[in-house]
A and B are shown apart, each in its own frame.
Chain A
């Protein structure tokens, strides 16, 4: 009997520890249990609501709408049925979406004009107001730095050799088109097929290339591609090709926003281009050029003021023309624009007010 009793004793003991183990495994959470300070539910909620409401309001005062929205979202978690919180969030959402779209449109317009630095700023603002703005990201990450490929649509009967001759001036580069488009070298692509063509830059030629690391001293100055662009920009500036100079310098700045040399070139080219446009009486274009210039540069403040006054006057005169043609609404619009450029334009203000009064009377008569 005794041995059997011992066996049962062991069995029972093993069962005990096994059950403890199993019990622990069965229900233990994957992470250690939190050692937190519990609070009554009402107090718990109040703690967060007050804190995050205050912070949201602080951000609103600073006109930091995205942060304000983020903090109102926390408050709404606790107060899902509170209409005032919901309305506040709706307003902020509309505000941020509108601002993001406005900046995106401005960015796209600058991009079209190849004013890449200004475009980048606008796209960043769009993304700041709406971090999910995919198009703004696309411009910042892909379109401004420039794509590696160009796209080509295959014409009827074209071979890779013919495309290579047309695009690279060298039929022997057909292998590149084949490689990058997963085609066979002797393939005859179907017409209207879209192929990607890698962009080729001039290669450096060396009789013997470096193989020893010790010989290498990387430059602290910009890398060669950018140096070339800067040299190019300087050449354009000297030849008074301001548009080309701005394009080259802005390419440098797009990749290296702090590049002082590029900034200097943009300022000088923008200034000279603007002055030329002033002489040609293209005041709107002159203002766009001047906007690129460092605000402290030479007499830029006076030049901008002059351009604005001239632009204002041009809109005023256009308004007068519309007025004499009895196109009151168009005239009012022109005078409004005149006042945007020169809020002190007294004739524009006076004539606009009388035109508005007249328009009102006419509407009443009708």
Chain B
């Protein structure tokens, strides 16, 4: 009985200790001088903090911005370099550097476009496993940050900044090699990517993806978006086809892709890769009407924030590219001194 009461008493003490464990005061009293001591100060637009042992830009980003991916933002604001203990750090709580706009020019974001992959042989549209692996390693080792389409469009909409060396990776169509070759490499590198599928191709044949494979990729970080239903050129009309039939065909090609992805993956699609990269103003009007946020051409070049959201550039990476040629598609800043 006494022992029981004893343990119950200990329990109450436990409650007190447990409560204390969760509280680490942000200010306190210096043991010798009795002057207040400070670890951090929170202001309206920023937090001032002294870096402690083991702190990294990333750990500060997690602690104060709830996002390890914003480490670059804190580093950039504080002049970069190593984060030594005792360094005073400002954590900005509102976005700065929107659009990557500087007096000397502006940030551009390359969007890379792949189609097929193979273990050995390459052709113009097929990149070998070794080449893809080399390209992804190059991005990783040279400080490029692979970002998602949502991050890209937040940048294009002037809502959020992107790391200075941001790149987007996209894969078109829905060939099985995307699952067998590219997907494991992307997973190993921890890179997000977008698969633009044309839904007629997702048949699970010898060369093409099945919906189960698409689903598996979607559940493991790949973003699945539309490349239309049938991959017909949205800007071309067959001879003897009326304008009205043409319009019905492109309307159906867009909406059927969206609804198929919704049905198979229960995911909303916001972006389109135009078949053959071709578009016109009517197609863009249609996409806007259907609630898309943006769309991609295959016009080579990076994207400044002021690029048209429905004419975003993408650079095709061909199978015969050397690493040197690949690098030429990674321009992340355009010099253009502002007046």
Say which residue of A26, A38, A220 sits within 8 Å of B37 (CB atoms). Answer: A38
**How distant is the Cα of A52 from the Cα of B306 in the complex, in angstroms?**
31
Contacts of A22 in B (CB 8 A): 15, 18
B-contacting residues, A38-55, CB 8 Å = 38-42, 44-45, 47-48, 51-52, 55
B291 to chain A, nearest CB (A): 14
Q: Tell me the complex Cα distance, A55–B79, Å.
A: 10
Shortest Cβ distance from residue A98 to the other chain B in the assembled complex, whole angstroms: 15
CB neighbours of B306 from chain A (8 A)? 120, 124, 140-141, 144
Most-contacted residue by chain B among A36, A124, A209 (CB, 10 A): A36
Number of A-B contacts (CB under 8 A): 285
Flag whether B83 is at the interface (Cβ < 8 A): no
CB distance from A10 to the nearest CB of B (A): 8
Q: Are A210 and B233 in contact (CB under 8 A)?
A: yes
Q: Which residues of A contact B45 (CB under 8 A)?
A: 73, 77
Cβ proximity bits B278-313 to A, threshold 8 Å, 1 near / 0 not: 101110111011000000011111001011110100
- Among B22-30, B162-170, B186-194, B254-262, the stretch in contact with A: B22-30
Residues in chain B near residue A78, CB distance under 8 A: 41, 48
| B265 part of interface (Cβ distance < 8 Å) | no
How far does the alpha carbon of A27 sit from the alpha carbon of B17 in the complex, in Å? 10
Q: Which residues of A contact B334 (CB under 8 A)?
A: 257-258
B180 at the interface (CB under 8 A from A): no
B18 with A24: CB separation less than 8 A: yes
Q: How far is the CA of A268 from the CA of B145 in the complex (A)?
A: 40
B149-173 vs A, Cβ < 8 Å mask (1 yes, 0 no): 0000000001000000000000001
Contact call A121/B243, Cβ cutoff below 8 A: no
B301 touches A33 (CB 8 A): no
Given known A42-B35, A173-B243, A203-B246, contact A20–B49 (CB-CB < 8 A) = no
B238 touches A206 (CB 8 A): yes
Q: For A214, give the chain B residue with the smallest CB separation.
A: B125
Contact B298 A128 (CB under 8 A): no
Chain B, residue nearest A20 (CB) = B14
Chain B proximity of A255: nearest CB distance (Å): 7
Q: Is A207 in contact with B238, judged by CB distance below 8 angstroms?
A: yes
Judging by beta carbons under 8 Å apart, are B63 and A19 in contact?
no
Contact B18 A27 (CB under 8 A): yes
5 A-B pairs with CB atoms under 8 Å apart are A21-B18, A37-B50, A40-B37, A128-B103, A141-B308
Q: Could you tell me if A9 and B37 are in contact, using CB atoms closer than 8 angstroms?
A: no
Please pick, from A20, A34, A106, A180, the residue contacting B289 in the complex, using a CB distance under 8 A.
A180
Interface-forming stretch among B4-12, B135-143, B216-224? B4-12
B277 on interface, CB distance cutoff 8 Å: yes
Chain B minimum-CB-distance residue to A226: B299
Given contacts A203-B246, A213-B125, contact A198 B15 (CB under 8 A): no
A20 with B17: CB separation less than 8 A: yes
B98 contacts A by Cβ under 8 Å = yes
Q: Given the complex, which residues of A lie within 8 Å of B96, measured CB to CB?
A: 70
Partner of A9, one of B4, B24, B103: B4
A257 to B304, CA, bound (A): 10
Q: Is the CB of A77 within 8 A of B11?
A: no
Query: CA–CA, A222 to B33, complex, Å?
Result: 70
Say whether B4 contacts A12, CB under 8 Å. yes
Which of B3, B11, B66, B307 lies in contact with A15, CB distance below 8 A?
B11
* CB–CB B38/A40 < 8 A: yes
Say if the beta carbon of B129 comes within 8 Å of chain A: no
* Chain A residues near B278 (CB-CB < 8 A): 223-224
B112 CB-CB contact with A under 8 Å: no
User: 11 extra interchain contacts, Cβ-Cβ under 8 A, other than A23-B15, A201-B282?
Assistant: A12-B6, A12-B8, A24-B18, A27-B20, A33-B24, A77-B45, A125-B339, A128-B102, A198-B285, A203-B236, A203-B243
Interface residues in chain B, defined as those with a beta carbon under 8 Å from any beta carbon in chain A: 1, 3-8, 10-12, 14-24, 27-28, 30, 33, 35-41, 43-46, 48-55, 62-63, 66, 79, 85-86, 88, 90, 96, 98-99, 101-103, 106, 115, 124-125, 158, 173, 230-233, 235-239, 242-244, 246-247, 276-278, 280-282, 284-286, 288-289, 297-301, 304, 306-309, 311, 316, 334, 336, 338-339
Q: Does A230 contact B (CB under 8 A)?
A: no
**In the complex, A29→B7 CA distance in Å?**
27
Q: Is A204 an interface residue (CB 8 A)?
A: yes
Q: How far, in Å, is B305 (CB) from chain A's closest CB?
A: 8
A223 to chain B, nearest CB (A): 5
Tell me how many residues of A have a C-beta within 8 Å of chain B: 101
**Measured CA separation A257–B28 after assembly (Å):** 56
On chain B, the residues within 8 Å of A180 by CB distance are: 285, 289
**Contact present for B4 and A5 (CB under 8 Å):** yes
Q: Which residues of A contact B (CB under 8 A)?
A: 4-5, 7-9, 11-13, 15-29, 31-42, 44-45, 47-48, 51-52, 55, 64, 70, 73-74, 77-78, 103, 106, 120-122, 124-125, 127-128, 131, 137, 140-141, 144-145, 148-149, 170, 172-173, 175-176, 179-180, 198-201, 203-211, 213-214, 216-220, 222-226, 255-258
**Complex Cα–Cα for A74 and B49 (A):** 13
Q: How far is the CA of A207 from the CA of B238 in the complex (A)?
A: 5
Query: Are the C-beta atoms of A38 and B101 separated by less than 8 Å?
Result: no
Rounded to whole Å, the gap between the CB of A158 and the closest CB of chain B is: 21
Within the complex, the shortest CB–CB distance from B74 to chain A, in Å, comes to 13
- Out of A19, A204, A222, which one reaches B11, CB within 8 Å? A19
Min CB distance A261 to B, Å, is 14
Chain A nearest Cβ from B152, distance in angstroms: 15
Task: Give the one of B7, B33, B54, B158 with max A CB within 10 A.
Answer: B7
Q: Nearest chain-B residue to A73 (Cβ)?
A: B45
A41 vs B316: C-alpha distance in the bound complex, in angstroms? Answer: 56
Q: Are A11 and B236 in contact (CB under 8 A)?
A: no
Establish whether residues A223 and B158, one from each chain, have CB atoms under 8 Å apart when the complex forms.
no
Contacts of B288 in A (CB 8 A): 148
List B contacts of A256 (CB < 8 A).
299, 301
Chain A residues within 8 Å of B232, by CB: 209-211
Indicate which residue in B48, B99, B280, B308 contacts A255 across the interface (CB closer than 8 Å): B308
Give Cα A148–Cα B239 distance, bound, in whole angstroms: 26
Which 9 pairs of residues, A with B, have the shortest CB-CB distance? A23-B18, A12-B7, A8-B4, A27-B22, A28-B22, A15-B11, A36-B52, A19-B15, A16-B11
